[in-house]
Structure 1
Amino acid sequence: MTPPLVSIVIPTFKRPDSLARLLRSIITDISGRTDTVIIVADNDVSRSAEHTVQALSDAHSIPIDYTVAPEPGVSNARNAGMARVQSRYVLFLDDDMEVVPPYLDTVLKTSKTLGTALTFAPAVAALPPGSESFEQWLSPLFSRVFEGNTRVVEETLGTGGCLVDLQNIALPSPVFDPALNEVGGEDDTFFAEVIAQGGTVGWCADTTAWEHVPPHRATLDYLWRRHFAFGQTPTRQAADRGVKGWLSIVKWTIIGALQALVHGGLYGVQTLLRRPSRIEHLGRLAQGLGKIFWWDGLSPRLYGRHAR
């Protein structure tokens, strides 16, 4: 049997309605393709996604490969999906996304044209009602976009909306680091490994997907924790290099201190003035402190058994 060209890997955790929305959009998007397989990795030991997957598979007469990763953790879920992959290309989607056709064809064409190992497509935040006054500050937290046209880029975004060309890549084992199950950053570590092997990065500006944000995440508490975790990433990556990373640790600590000083002051002033723009400075303050206090014991638990 000929292996598929593309595997669409979707980790999910107790979001059957959101997962159904994504699956409907991706089934529409790949209609007529015979070289693509959808893989859903359910990170809920109670198999809460199984009924949704089976119902949509039956309704659209399309096979969906369903697997369970019983141990909670974002890396565990992604690894369970990757264990089923037999294709050259892997498209990662998150269960809170919704693709806008033509999606896969567009991203795949970009990857082939640019010759990139990692190709990122836009994910634009769709915020819940009631958060309009904070939209311009909350939206960047959940959106994953680069400015400008389709091109080769130097930086990476998040896993949701990333197409990986596995042709010349020696995958680490496990692919995503289980040590990052609850704090995240497993995608950054994987992307760094791909780039270290000579893989290049592309940006596909010619399609899009929505990232639907649930109300409990459109809050200042979640904004703080997410930004703090984001700020920890560069210092933690430097620490992972051992002795060779100490100069980078010092650099990022200094940058974090300056960032916290500047944005902490601006946040205080704008809070007194009751300006909504204070949210931007709150996020930057959290990032700065994350660069200083980067060790795992202080990392916010956003995934795994702590996910909502």
Structure 2
Amino acid sequence: MTACHNDSIEVCVCTYRRPQLSVTLESLASLRVPDDFTLSVLVIDNDTTPSARPLVEGIAETFPVPLRYVHCPEGNISIARNGALDHCRARYLAFIDDDETASSDWLCALVEELRRVDADVVLGPVEGVYDQSAPSWMCNLEIHSTRPVWVKGEIRTGYTCNVIIDRHASAVCDRRFDLALGKTGGEDSLFFDEIHKAGGKIGYAERALVHEDVPTERLAYGWLLRRRFRMGQTHGRMLRQKIGAGRLLSNLAVALAKVTYCCGAAVLGGFDTTRRNAALLRGTLHIGVFMGLTGMRELELYGSGSVQRGEN
């Protein structure tokens, strides 16, 4: 691990051919820095060629805090995330996506919660921002927003689109993002799941808000179905590893029962578009869980020709 100061934070932005990176960096330039902390920003470019270098180095000339560029090719998001772990010079590493903007108090809220609950990891909410073309049911469900899931009063996994990590925590040290999941997604879910299983504490800061503009292509119902299916696959694969062969059939039966229930809920939803689509998307997630439990290979979301984003 790189030598670092205990009162330092580095914000990492993993990027892949995304022009919105400049808007993300603009929001980071306006951050309020927590008292007694120093701040720096690290951009990890996962493109085959160093396409983001001119943009980042141009912005760095007038950026209010140190801004560094590192090229970590190619088309595998785990390579980029591991590059952040390797090149980070701070004790605390925060992640934000290259199509998001941070609120001015984002880091302060994360650090406040980190200290308040003595956590190793703290997540924040990501709020999807829709334009006028978005259907009302989608806005009602906030389907593009991201928040953690609590299980029996605790958070057991996380995501990298809004998080701060204490790299000195024993549950975090020497942990890596799985390269085998770098094209399918789910590498962040596994990373934080392993931190939790190692005794790490994951907290949540509601005020640490990040916004994400939802582009037109993500308003397509097919995109949402694909995303939900992949999320289910990731959960099913992780569940398969935990339960072993002895409980596989019972978990397959539970997943199938949930699919059936969601299909019934969709029918009962009738003309209520919000209820019907919520049930269909939930059912698609459970189909993904079923397929993940069977060991089906996950959908590839990253790589050549794909639009990269950290998906949990």
Aligned residue for 2:50, secondary structure, equals coil
Give 1:299 shift: 1.9
Q: 1:18-62 deviations in whole A, cap 9, x for unaligned?
A: 111111111110469872221111111222222221222123354
For the Cα contact (< 8 Å) 1:143–1:211, is it kept in 2? no
Equivalent residue for 1:20?
Answer: 22
Equivalent residue for 1:206?
Answer: 207
Distance in 2 (alpha carbons) for counterparts of 1:192 and 1:5? 25
Give 1:195 shift: 1.4
TM-score if structure 2 supplies the norm length?
0.86
Mark the CA change 1:154 to 1:31 in structure 2 (over 3 Å): closer, same or farther: closer
Aligned residue for 1:109, secondary structure, equals helix
Mark the CA change 1:296 to 1:23 in structure 2 (over 3 Å): closer, same or farther: farther
For the Cα contact (< 8 Å) 1:22–1:97, is it kept in 2? yes
Mark the CA change 1:83 to 1:226 in structure 2 (over 3 Å): closer, same or farther: same
Distance in 2 (alpha carbons) for counterparts of 1:206 and 1:275? 31
For the Cα contact (< 8 Å) 2:175–2:191, is it kept in 1? no
Query: Which residues of structure 2 form unaligned runs of 5+?
Result: 308-312
Distance in 1 (alpha carbons) for counterparts of 2:55 and 2:195? 33
Which region of structure 1 is more displaced relative to structure 2, 57-66 or 216-225?
57-66
For the Cα contact (< 8 Å) 1:40–1:65, is it kept in 2? yes
Mark the CA change 1:250 to 1:293 in structure 2 (over 3 Å): closer, same or farther: same
Q: 1:185-226 deviations in whole A, cap 9, x for unaligned?
A: 111111122112211111112231102221111211111111
Equivalent positions of 1:207-226 (< 5 A) are: 207-226=208-227
Mark the CA change 1:221 to 1:240 in structure 2 (over 3 Å): closer, same or farther: same
Distance in 2 (alpha carbons) for counterparts of 1:183 and 1:158? 14
Identity %: 24
Equivalent residue for 1:163?
Answer: 164
Equivalent positions of 1:9-88 (< 5 A) are: 9-16=12-19, 18-30=20-32, 35-88=38-91
Q: Is the counterpart of residue 266 in structure 1 residue 265 in structure 2? A: yes
Mark the CA change 1:296 to 1:179 in structure 2 (over 3 Å): closer, same or farther: farther
Query: Which residues of structure 1 form unaligned runs of 5+?
Result: none
Mark the CA change 1:247 to 1:95 in structure 2 (over 3 Å): closer, same or farther: farther
For the Cα contact (< 8 Å) 2:141–2:274, is it kept in 1? no
Give 1:136 shift: 3.5
Mark the CA change 1:172 to 1:6 in structure 2 (over 3 Å): closer, same or farther: closer
Mark the CA change 1:281 to 1:54 in structure 2 (over 3 Å): closer, same or farther: same
Letter in 2 for 1:161: N
Equivalent positions of 1:49-198 (< 5 A) are: 49-136=52-139, 139-144=142-147, 153-169=154-170, 171=172, 175-198=176-199
TM-score if structure 1 supplies the norm length?
0.87
Mark the CA change 1:306 to 1:28 in structure 2 (over 3 Å): closer, same or farther: same
Mark the CA change 1:38 to 1:117 in structure 2 (over 3 Å): closer, same or farther: same
Q: Which has the higher helix share?
A: 1
Equivalent residue for 1:293?
Answer: 291
Count the aligned residue pairs. Answer: 300
Distance in 2 (alpha carbons) for counterparts of 1:306 and 1:251? 39
Letter in 1 for 2:27: S
Distance in 2 (alpha carbons) for counterparts of 1:54 and 1:34? 24
